[in-house]
Amino acid sequence: MPIDRDADQQQPAARSPGGDELERALRQLRFGIRSRLSARSLDTADLPELFATLRRRFGTLGMTAGSVEIDDFGMDDRTLARATPILDFLGDHVFRIETLHADALPETALFVANRAADWPHGGLLLAHWLARSSPGRPRPRFLCDGEFAARPFVAPQLTRLGGVRAHPENALRLLRSGRSVIAFPGVAGASPGGPSGLGSFGRGGLLRTAAKASVPIVAVGMVGPESLVPQPGASGWGLPTPWVIAFGEPLHCSPDAAGDELWLARSTESLRRQVGEKVDEARARALRR
């Protein structure tokens, strides 16, 4: 059946009193759209320019010609500068990040947080929050799971935004150069009260790395990142919930401790417990919000 485009104009009596204004607005909108479409017809388009633009866009698909300010791990200052307003918006307005005990954090530290989610967005936003709270210091770097650090399209972007593949040598090099590192050991989505707790924190690798670099370790409990990511057993996507990040007391490690297996084993267990306590504290705070 053919559509009568001006049928609405032919039946004014059926409209409500406010309908006239709406009708007029719609007519203007339609006129505007049609006039714009006709002005940008293919007859007048600059096809060589369009081709050059498309070629340039396609040529940099998944890449960027970025700035020269690229550090040894591939972090790109220009990409970060572009992402900063988005990260600010996410942190301040979407996730409404709240921190606990963040007033006396060491300048360089190995932050060990619970792995709230498999995705690296927790690390990205925590690194951004730490960078924002201590301007002038080198930006903290977050360690990414090997799976994400190898994924096409994702891996280059994470690298430019400060992500580093989770590897003890990477962490040690960063810490020795005065950059803080955020690590996420354990099992994704696990909770301290769950059947397996937070999962294994390894055999002292984190403590050994911090000891070798002579930097303190700070336990971090994060609540919130898990809400955005589909969890095992759950269906669909969650809505963003407010994040709470609770920091622990810095645990100082001396280089001599790197070879003390007993100390490493005990301290790893103590660190795991402390991260669990911080998660509980952050969760309690989140429930009160």
Partner 1 sequence: MAEARSLAITGLGNPVADRFARRLLEGAPSLRVIGLGQRMPAGLRGRIELVAVDPGASGCGADLEAALRRHEVDRVLHLPFEVAPGETFPEGEGWLARAAEQVAHASARAGVERLVVLSSTMLYGACTTNPAFLGEGQRLVGHPGSAWLRDQCRAEEMIARAALANAAPAVTVLRHPWLMGRGVRNAIALYFASQLVPIPLGYDPMLQFLHPRDLQDALESATFDAPRPGVFNRVPGDALPLSRLLALAGKQPLPMPRRGLLSVPGAPRLGRGDESPAVFYDFLCAGWVADGERAAETFSPPIYSTREAWAAFGAAHGRA
CB half-sphere exposure, 205, CA atoms < 13 A: 15
Cβ-based nearer residue to partner 1, 134 or 170: 170
| Closest separation in Å from C-beta 129 to partner 1 | 24
> Should residue 58 be labelled a site residue for partner 1 when binding is judged by CB under 8 A?
yes
Cβ-based nearer residue to partner 1, 152 or 195: 152
Cβ-based nearer residue to partner 1, 177 or 196: 177
E strand intervals along 89-136 = 98-100, 110-113
Cβ-based nearer residue to partner 1, 183 or 220: 183
Tell me the C-alpha distance between 182 and 117, whole Å.
14
Cβ-based nearer residue to partner 1, 24 or 56: 56
Retrieve residue 80's tokens: 């970060």
| Closest separation in Å from C-beta 119 to partner 1 | 17
> Should residue 82 be labelled a site residue for partner 1 when binding is judged by CB under 8 A?
no
Cβ-based nearer residue to partner 1, 123 or 276: 123
The closest of 146, 141, 188 to 167, measured between CA atoms, is 146
Helix (H) or strand (E) holding 128: helix 121-133
Around Cβ 77, how many Cβ atoms within 10 Å?
15
Give the interface size with partner 1 as a residue count (CB under 8 A): 31
| Closest separation in Å from C-beta 271 to partner 1 | 23
- For residues 132 and 145, the answer to whether their CB atoms sit within 8 Å is no
> Should residue 128 be labelled a site residue for partner 1 when binding is judged by CB under 8 A?
no
Around Cβ 238, how many Cβ atoms within 10 Å?
12
> Should residue 60 be labelled a site residue for partner 1 when binding is judged by CB under 8 A?
yes
Q: Is the dihedral of CA 18, 21, 27, 33 positive or negative?
A: negative
> Should residue 55 be labelled a site residue for partner 1 when binding is judged by CB under 8 A?
yes
What residue has token string 């790197």? 258
Tell me the C-alpha distance between 203 and 184, whole Å.
14
* Three-class SS state of 98: strand
> Should residue 73 be labelled a site residue for partner 1 when binding is judged by CB under 8 A?
yes
Q: Which of residues 144-183 bind partner 1 (CB under 8 A)?
A: 146, 149-150, 152-153, 155-156, 159, 164-165, 167-170, 173
Cβ-based nearer residue to partner 1, 29 or 52: 52
Tell me the C-alpha distance between 170 and 168, whole Å.
5
> Should residue 59 be labelled a site residue for partner 1 when binding is judged by CB under 8 A?
yes
> Should residue 68 be labelled a site residue for partner 1 when binding is judged by CB under 8 A?
yes
> Should residue 13 be labelled a site residue for partner 1 when binding is judged by CB under 8 A?
no
| Closest separation in Å from C-beta 137 to partner 1 | 21
| Closest separation in Å from C-beta 155 to partner 1 | 7
| Closest separation in Å from C-beta 181 to partner 1 | 12
Q: Return left, alpha or beta for 78; rule: phi > 0 is left, psi -120 to 50 is alpha, else beta.
A: alpha
Tell me the C-alpha distance between 219 and 217, whole Å.
7
- For residues 236 and 230, the answer to whether their CB atoms sit within 8 Å is yes
> Should residue 66 be labelled a site residue for partner 1 when binding is judged by CB under 8 A?
yes
- List residues binding partner 1 (CB under 8 A): 55, 58-66, 68, 70, 72-74, 76, 146, 149-150, 152-153, 155-156, 159, 164-165, 167-170, 173
